[in-house]
């Protein structure tokens, strides 16, 4: 019998001038980027929280404090690699990832395949296991922000060994 866990992640950042836009580990051409202590990549932050949540290992802030200068402008891919490593050490593998990006701009359709490929490569899973959907924030008064929601399904691959 297989054992499964589900993790959920959510993040949001406002757009600000003078910063590069990072999304899904990709630097995108855009007139503004997302505010944040790190690179502000809302999609990768939500993925990190989903992984950490699924293994009950806290959240991104408990591993990478925004008050720690080491993480100033850090690539969010570092955070995801850390969370993925903890997930694997705990004996779990990713079955699939389902993400919603809620933003007015940039339009997701022209870059969806690029973002799916980037996320799949970072997580070392097949692209077919990564779903990325776009929604607009109609009626939410958040046109100046990007929001990401992520759900991850994990499957037990091994019982972690206990070291005394």
For 30-51, what is each residue's pLDDT tens digit? 999 999 889 999 999 999 999 9
Q: What radius of gyration do the chain's Cα atoms show?
A: 16
pTM: 0.91
Which of the four pLDDT bands, split at 50, 70 and 90, describes residue 132? very high
User: Where in the chain are the domains?
Assistant: 4-156
Note the CATH number of domain 4-156.
Answer: 3.30.1330.50
Q: Which residue did the predictor score with more confidence, 143 or 112?
A: 112
């Amino acid at each position: 019998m297989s054992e499964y866990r589900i993790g959920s992640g959510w993040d949001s950042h406002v757009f600000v001038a003078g910063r590069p836009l990072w999304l899904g580990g990709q630097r995108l051409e855009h007139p503004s980027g997302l505010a944040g202590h790190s690179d502000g990549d809302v999609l990768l932050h939500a993925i990190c929280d989903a992984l950490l949540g699924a293994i009950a290992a806290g959240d991104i802030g408990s591993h990478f404090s925004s008050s720690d200068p080491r993480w100033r402008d850090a690539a969010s891919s570092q955070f995801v690699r850390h969370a993925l490593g903890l997930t694997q050490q705990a004996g779990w593998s990713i079955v699939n990832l389902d993400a919603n990006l809620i933003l007015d701009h940039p339009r997701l359709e022209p870059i969806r395949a690029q973002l799916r490929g980037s996320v799949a490569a970072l997580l070392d899973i097949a692209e077919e296991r990564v779903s990325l959907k776009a929604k607009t924030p109609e009626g939410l008064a958040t046109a100046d922000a990007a929001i990401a929601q992520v759900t991850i399904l994990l499957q037990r691959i091994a019982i972690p060994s206990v070291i005394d």
